[in-house]
Amino acid sequence: MLRFVLLLITSCAAALGPPTVLLVSGSDSGGGAGLQAEIKTCEALGVFSTNAVTAITAQNTVGVHGVHGLPPAFVVEQMDAVFDDFAVDAVKTGLLASVDVVEAVARRLRAADVGGVVVDPVVCAASGDVFVDDATIEAIKAELLPLATVITPNAAEAQLLGGEAVEGTLSVDRARALAARLLEHGPRAVVVKGARLGEDEAPSMAWIGPPRAPGDDVIVDVCAFADGAVATLACPARCETRPPCPPDDLRAGPAVATRNTHGTGCTFSAAVAARLAAGDAPRAAIEGAKVYLDAALRASASLNIGRGAHGPLHHGFRHSAWPA
């Protein structure tokens, strides 16, 4: 009888535990991106994070000095250990640097039958520098995108995944076309991050925030959904306080003025996974992630961490006030 009561208490405690995310990603020794950024994001959003390390990097705010990929079998062994012990509500993938790792992770995800999968296809920096070979990019398209609830490529990654050469800035119209093309691979939603709003595109969009000055850099994240809806996310994000979004919701606003943008993509995709784990539908998860990212960027504006051009975000702004 006592054993039954203890088992019942244990089961109830598990049921009342926090949502859980598995982060399958690379480590950043500088603490600003990769697993370190993702763990801090999940913690800030009230979600417990587990992880499977795919690569170890030697990097800081100045640059990346070395990358050591882990064997696919050991990446899967880490995933096995997590799935064997935790009720995983969502998975987020990041740096998967080889075909073998991509295929191994995809096989394990198919066996796990997880409710929400966020694929951040870390194949290319926003600058256009490519991290992986063409075969790995094709493996991501064939193996991971069909499993995804949401994929979150930056502008350069969207061009590569869409079969295009990486060319400078990406207009909102081109980002919409690429997002629609990537939907054909099977995800429920695509977010193309970092499109630039052209002067000729502005009249069709609702402006949020201070009036736009000539020459202002306006960054827009373009979302496309499997049901055919299209939306854009802008800073500042107002999604949580507005009425429900119409099917086509096009908004733009000024970029956050801060040098501290290292790990922005990892933070956003981890926030989407955290919101999915907490029970949000894809669109609400994306919008909630944008709200968090916008606030973390603004809180980081006065930080002075590292000697490089791009410092880290302030992930824990709700709980700590670091000196400038």
The residues annotated as belonging to the active site are: 193, 261, 263-266
CA 304 to chain centre: 24
* DSSP assignment letter at 51: E
* DSSP assignment letter at 70: P
The angle, 0 to 180 degrees and rounded to 10, between the axes of the packed helices 34-44 and 264-277 is: 40
Task: Give dist(CA 134, CA 226) in Å, integer.
Answer: 26
- Taking the alpha carbons of 293, 297, 300, 305 in that order, is the dihedral positive or negative? positive
Contact 285, 276 (CB under 8 A): yes
- Residue spans of alpha helices (H) in 118-171: 134-139, 155-161
Tokens of 17: 């535990």
Of 299, 316, 289, which Cα lies nearest the Cα of 150? Answer: 289
SS3 content of the chain, % helix, strand, coil (to 5): 40, 20, 40
35 membership: H or E segment, kind and range: helix 34-44
Which residue, chain included where needed, has tokens 């996974």? 273
Task: Give dist(CA 162, CA 141) in Å, integer.
Answer: 9
Of 214, 312, 220, 221, which Cα lies nearest the Cα of 258? Answer: 312
